[in-house]
Amino acid sequence: MCTAIFLKNKNSYFGRTLDLEYGYDEQVVITPKNYKFTFRHEKTPRRLFPVIGMATVVNGYPLYYDAMNNHGVAMAALNFPGNAEYFAEKKDFTNIAPFEFIPWILRRCKNMTDVREQLKNINITDTPFSARYPNTPLHWIIADKKEAITVESTAGGLMIYDNSIGVLANNPPFYLQQLNVTDNISTLPGDFESPSRFTRAAYIKSKSVPGKNETDSVTQFFHIMDTVSQVEGINVKNGKYVTTRYTSCMNQHKGIYYYTTYENRQISAVDINKTKPDSKTLITFPLVNKQQIFLHCVNK
């Protein structure tokens, strides 16, 4: 139950909601260029761009939900149950596990040309991270500063779609989401199912007024995402309420990762350019979850 958007005005912005009934101790994580990222089937790439995003760190390994590199290429993984298909390792292919896909692309690609070149030969394998963390059925939205694409690993192979709408939700597959928007853009649906969130986000994003400055743009981005956010009590799964655990917004030109959480509506931010670029260890920032309220003081 997640939604991602790519928005262009003076700068380009990319972000998503993460809608779950529980959390995995997610935090903002910077993978510096000198951090040794290992892959299950492939050698560590020579190009090592630093990456910032939201992740769960397990045994020193960042499992990214969404992230951006210092060149502004951004990527998010969304749930895709019943449609995602992963495969055994294939000879003469670049074999990447689902949990490795975000770092593989972002550590080596500085624009969409690089991304498309990588995708020509990628096979998403059925390799799990561990017994405790089995594979999740996923599809992905990737954007540089100019354009976005959707990537889906299905029974038919790796499907790559130009995403001029700049939106991704969960099911159905992306080509059906596009058709649904075309058919229903004039009547906005009010429920929180994936096709409805996709249509609502696409329409509101297309009508939103560009911000006059960075603060305006970021604020506008979060307002758009609020239209697809999950409020406690609306959706129940496994006996627990699904909520939007966090919403992210990345400025792809400035390298700033903004976020809010369900508990704290004040925007927090981490700038990839203001951390230790030569570090060899992960740099982590626990989420600011306590609600921040500005209290006016009455003059005596």
d(CA 163, CA 182): 14
Q: Does residue 249 carry a catalytic annotation?
A: no
If you search the block for the tokens 């297309």, which residue do you land on? 206
Q: Are 167 and 3 in contact (CB under 8 A)?
A: yes
What is the separation of C-alpha 274 from the centre of its chain, rounded to a whole number of angstroms? Answer: 22
Supply the DSSP symbol for 97.
Answer: -
What is the separation of C-alpha 98 from the centre of its chain, rounded to a whole number of angstroms? Answer: 14
Q: In the β-sheet with 138-143, what is the strand arrangement from edge to edge?
A: 157-162, 148-154, 138-143, 74-79, 61-69, 51-58, 27-31, 283-286
Q: Is the peptide bond before 45 cis (omega within 30 degrees of 0)?
A: no
d(CA 293, CA 199): 33
Three-class DSSP category at 78: strand
Which residue in 2, 109, 249, 297 is the catalytic one?
2
d(CA 88, CA 92): 13
> Positive or negative CA dihedral for 200, 164, 54, 289?
negative
Q: Are 48 and 34 in contact (CB under 8 A)?
A: yes
Please enumerate in sequence order all residues whose Cβ is within 8 A of that of 24, keeping only pairs 6 or more positions apart, or say none. 56, 63
**Catalytic machinery residues:** 2
